[in-house]
A = this chain, B = another copy of it.
Amino acid sequence: MVAILTLLTDFGLQDAYVGVLKGTIAKINPQIQVIDLSHHIPPQNIRAASFCLANAFPHFPQHTVHLAVVDPGVGGSRKSVAIKFDQGYVVAPDNGLCSQLMQEQKALGAVNLTNFKYWLTPSPSKTFHGRDIFAPVAAHLAGGVAMTELGESIAPESLVMLPALDVVPTPTGLLGRIQYIDHFGNLITNISSDRVAGKIWYLKVGGKRISYRHAYGGVPVGQSIALIGSHGYIEIATNQGNASQELECTWGDPVEVTLV
Contact = CB atoms under 8 A, between A and B. Distances in A.
Given A75-B217, A76-B217, A126-B215, A36 B55 contact: no
A72 B41 CA distance: 24
Contacts of A128: 229-230
A113 to B, nearest CB: 17
Contacts of A43: 183-184, 242
Contacts of A125: 228-230
Interface in A33-65: 33-41, 43-44, 52-53, 55-56, 59-61, 64
Given A17-B182, A19-B38, A75-B214, A2 B24 contact: no
A18 B30 contact: no
B127 A215 contact: yes
Contacts of A20: 55-56, 59
A104 interface: no
In the assembly, how many copies of this chain are there? Answer: 3
A30 B33 CA distance: 9
Contact-size category for A: 35 or more
Given A30-B2, A182-B17, A72 B23 contact: no
B37 A16 contact: yes
Nearest to A221: B72
A61 B216 contact: no
A20 B240 CA distance: 22
A55 to B, nearest CB: 5
A193 B14 CA distance: 24
Contacts of A13: 13, 36, 38-40, 183
Contact of A23 (B40, B59, B75, B184): B59
Interface of A: 1-2, 4, 6, 8, 11-20, 22-24, 26-27, 30-31, 33-41, 43-44, 52-53, 55-56, 59-61, 64, 72-76, 125-128, 131-132, 182-184, 214-217, 227-230, 235, 237, 239-240, 242
For the complex of A and B, list the 3 residue pairs with the smallest distance between their C-beta atoms, beginning with the closest.
Answer: A75-B215, A12-B183, A128-B230
